[in-house]
Structure 1
Amino acid sequence: MPKITRDSLMSLEAYAKARPEFRTKIMAHKKNRIVHLGTHITLHFEDELTMRYQVQEMLRAERIFEEEGIQEELDAYNPLVPDGSNWKATMMIEYPDIEERKVKLAELKGVENRVWVQVAGHDKVYAIADEDLERENEEKTSSVHFMRFELAPAMVNAAKAGAAIGVGVDHPAYMEAVSPLPANIRDSLTADLSA
């Protein structure tokens, strides 16, 4: 699967011109890659395009134009691009009220390890979470986690052949699932897989 390369990025000047149109394209693309698990947990499934957008936005915000800085951003975001046998997602835990959020993040310790995907006819695959750094402490979990769902070859083949896909979380304090995924999301996710 493609990774973000220096050649796939626009210069700051070119990005400034292309940004409105590129942003519209990204927002439409992301609609097919977001799964809401209940009211408070959302999975944003990443791919080369969503991560390239993130890199372009970081370069723009930080005014990074030197090769070393650009490479640092590529090194940070490329691990979030799926590589053909997995899905990668950013999980957001959202509670608007600050006090409620504190309580819930304490109750949800370990939730990042209880998020799953399932290709019909196969076992659930639980997330491998936060491979870059620990995001949970003794008191609470983080409101943002990065996760990878590694699929066996038979799961990849089944998904590519049209099998239904479900996504959920089965933490004692939060149980939600979307199964099967709507066709637009299923199709977008299967495009990340290579048979």
Structure 2
Amino acid sequence: MQLTGKITRDSLMTLEAYAKWRKAHKAEVIEHRKLRTVHLGEHITVQFESEMSIRYQIQEMLRLEKIFEEEGIEQEIEAYVPLVPEGSNWKATMLIEYPDISERKRELARLIGVEDRMFVEVEGHERIYAIADEDLDRENEEKTSAVHFLRFEFKPVAVQAVKAGAAVKLGCDHRNYPAHVVIPAETLASLAGDLK
């Protein structure tokens, strides 16, 4: 999988080429995703996206749906490309996970607005709150969704601090899910590469 800085139809593999590539490289993509995953408490997981993770997601959708026509490929690109970081931000998929169905239903009702209370805090700088679900609203008056898409937009001074090695916390200050965690060094090193 060649990272080009921009995902276009011409930069994607054909279904046949991807099938061969996938056999040889699936494990490294899984490791990349694992490296960029941060658990916040027991029930929230944040998967920071990258060009590699989104390119893989698009290729997987094309493979699973057997999409090879131009229009279908463009639709998949349009759906996923907004999740690729653009140099001044981190973008992530946030998952709220409760294995028990009745507990999940109860907690999703208690966690309305949680996506707007997610933040990253660069050491020595103010919190950067997530801009959530820019494509569509994923909650209603009764519950929030179990999946949200987040964008953390950095000021240039915060970018410089991250690149210089400042510690960064991922957190949530929702009244029903207060939590924070220091992003591990190896994960932070990968995320710092998203910032220009």
Q: Is the shorter-chain TM-score for this pair beyond 0.5, marking a shared fold?
A: yes
Please give the TM-score of this superposition, normalised by the length of structure 2: 0.96
SS, match of residue 7 in structure 2 = coil
Quote the sequence identity (%).
62
Tell me how far apart the structure 1 counterparts of residues 32 and 180 of structure 2 sit (CA, whole Å): 22
1:158 equivalent in alignment to 2:157: no
| Aligned-partner residue type, residue 132 of structure 2 | A
Aligned length: 193
CA displacement 1:19-53 (0-9 Å, x = unmatched): 12221111111121000001100000001000001
Q: Residue 37 of structure 2 aligns with which residue?
A: 34
Q: Residue 135 of structure 2 aligns with which residue?
A: 132
Tell me how far apart the structure 2 counterparts of residues 130 and 21 of structure 1 sit (CA, whole Å): 34
Tell me how far apart the structure 1 counterparts of residues 179 and 184 of structure 2 sit (CA, whole Å): 16
CA displacement 1:135-172 (0-9 Å, x = unmatched): 00110000000010000010001111111111011111
Please give the TM-score of this superposition, normalised by the length of structure 1: 0.97
Q: Residue 189 of structure 2 aligns with which residue?
A: 187
Q: Residue 87 of structure 2 aligns with which residue?
A: 84
1:122 equivalent in alignment to 2:91: no
Q: Which moved more, 1:85-94 or 1:14-23?
A: 14-23
Q: Residue 176 of structure 1 aligns with which residue?
A: 179
SS, match of residue 143 in structure 2 = coil
| Aligned-partner residue type, residue 49 of structure 2 | E
1:146 equivalent in alignment to 2:149: yes
Tell me how far apart the structure 1 counterparts of residues 177 and 43 of structure 2 sit (CA, whole Å): 9
Tell me how far apart the structure 2 counterparts of residues 157 and 8 of structure 1 sit (CA, whole Å): 31
Tell me how far apart the structure 2 counterparts of residues 93 and 75 of structure 1 sit (CA, whole Å): 25
Q: Residue 100 of structure 1 aligns with which residue?
A: 103
| Aligned-partner residue type, residue 115 of structure 2 | E
1:67 equivalent in alignment to 2:70: yes
Q: CA deviation at 1:118?
A: 1.1
Match of 1:9 among 7, 12, 15: 12
Tell me how far apart the structure 2 counterparts of residues 118 and 144 of structure 1 sit (CA, whole Å): 22
1:44 equivalent in alignment to 2:47: yes
Q: CA deviation at 1:117?
A: 0.4
Find runs of 4+ consecutive structure 1 residues off by over 3 angstroms. none
Q: CA deviation at 1:17?
A: 1.3
Tell me how far apart the structure 2 counterparts of residues 157 and 127 of structure 1 sit (CA, whole Å): 19
Q: CA deviation at 1:8?
A: 2.5
CA displacement 1:37-73 (0-9 Å, x = unmatched): 0110000000100000100000001111011111111
Unaligned runs of 5+ in 1: none
